[in-house]
Chains A and B, each alone.
Chain A
Amino acid sequence: MAVFEVPEPLKKLIGQVVATSVNLIEQGAIQRYSRAVGDSNPLYNDVEYAVNTRWGRLMAPPAFVGWPVGADSFDMIKFVEKLIGLGAPSGLLDGGVEYEFCTPVGTGDILLAVVKILNIEGRETRMGPTMITTVESTFTNQNGAVALIMRNTFLNF
């Protein structure tokens, strides 16, 4: 096994904004997400309950906005296909995530996402020669406040 050598065309992506997208946070999407997690918190499921809280609307669980929910117009799989086209290995695994939550997100919010490549590097992992990509997405709401910053790491092997 060996360390993966990152091809030049991929190195050139480091630091670049690769996508921007506008995302409307929908009630039904929040409810489907909460059911899939098995999270029965009424703030994320029950509209009647939620409108009577201080938030006044159905709220999204903190990690609802992430890869790829809430960034529908940024298709991460298509993006990874582009990386593969530029020489990345074709296997794909999610490596982990880091969030900074700044402003709570709920139904009706409109988030502008700016997606930037923070880093691409080659390593040797138990999957063999592996390329590790870190992508930073900053989500700003309709009032101009940063809602969250998310850094995703994924592995091509």
Chain B
Amino acid sequence: MVKQLYYEDVEIGQDIPVLQKIATTRMLVQWAGATGDFNPLHYDEEFAKSLGVGGPIVHGALKKAWLINLLTDWIGEEGQIKKFSCRYRGMDYPRKMETFDVPKDGETWVCKGKAIKKFIEGDNHFVECNVWVENGKGETTTSGTALVSLPSKIN
């Protein structure tokens, strides 16, 4: 079970504990199967090149799911994401496979976030956050915002 975060635990400017992710060609196929997004842009080298993106790219929606994972790990089971939005700003390229289940060395992505505002409305305790995904070069390739509600220690 994820440790529970309370409204009182959060300070404005506080960093959300980072979440590291990798993406491999194998994982993109797994994602396609799990979600039903079979756009060949994500697994067919020639098709992706013909669209001018260089090669198969990581699904934007997978990076969205990483950011949701970052948030649900942080807020715990009593916390709820109320609003979330993100934009896919840059292309990310998956690692190739070394063996059938071991990826080659390569890029690791880091999901990050920061609490930027907290406020109480009625019985609800809200925290607003910025969240983003950085590639191996430290460039932000996906960025977004979230509004979460947290339990309070006081009521």
* Size range of the chain B interface in the assembly: 35 or more
Q: Number of A interface residues at 8 Å Cβ cutoff, please give it.
A: 35
SS of B interface (majority): mixed
Instruction: Pick the contact of A97: B21, B36, B61 (CB < 8 A).
Output: B61
Interface hits, B58-82 → A, CB 8 Å = 59-62, 64-66, 68-69, 72-73, 77, 80-82
User: How many angstroms from the CA of A36 to the CA of B73 in the assembled complex?
Assistant: 16
Q: How far is the CA of A53 from the CA of B81 in the complex (A)?
A: 18
Residues of A within 8 A of B30 (CB): 35-36
| Residues B65 and A42 in contact, CB atoms below 8 Å apart | no
User: Are the CB atoms of B72 and A61 closer together than 8 Å?
Assistant: yes
B34 touches A61 (CB 8 A): no
Q: Is the CB of A39 within 8 A of B69?
A: yes
A-chain residues with CB within 8 Å of residue B38 when the two chains form the complex? 77
Tell me whether A38 and B69 are in contact (CB under 8 A): yes
Q: Taking the complex as formed, is A43 at the interface, i.e. its CB lies under 8 A from any CB of chain B?
A: yes
Minimum C-beta distance from A148 to chain B (A): 10
Q: How far is the CA of A81 from the CA of B111 in the complex (A)?
A: 33
Would you call B18 an interface residue if the criterion is a C-beta within 8 Å of the partner chain's C-beta atoms? no
- B60 surroundings in chain A (CB, below 8 A): 93-96
A101 in contact with B84 (CB, 8 Å): yes
Chain A: minimal CB distance from B23 (Å)? 9
- B66→A37 contact, CB < 8 A: yes
**Contacting B82 at CB < 8 Å: which of A32, A63, A101?**
A101
Whether A94 contacts B88 in the complex (CB less than 8 A), given A63-B64, A101-B80, comes out as yes
Contact with B along A91-110 (1 / 0, CB 8 A): 11111111111001000000
| Residue of A42, A43, A63, A98 contacting most chain B CB atoms (<10 Å) | A63
Stretch at the interface among A7-15, A66-74, A113-121: A66-74
Asked whether any CB of chain A lies closer than 8 Å to the CB of B35, the reply is: yes
Judged by a CB distance under 8 angstroms, whether B51 is at the interface is: yes
B6 CB within 8 Å of chain A: no
Q: Which residue of B lies closest to A71 (CB)?
A: B36
Flag if B34 contacts A98 (CB, 8 Å).
no
List the interface of chain B (C-beta within 8 A of A).
1-2, 21, 27, 30-31, 33-39, 41, 51-52, 59-62, 64-66, 68-69, 72-73, 77, 80-88, 144
A-B contact pairs, 10 of them (CB 8 A): A36-B27, A36-B31, A36-B65, A53-B77, A62-B72, A94-B59, A94-B61, A96-B60, A96-B87, A98-B84
Chain A interfacial positions (CB closer than 8 Å to B): 29, 32-33, 35-39, 41-43, 49, 53, 61-63, 66-69, 72, 77, 91-101, 104, 127
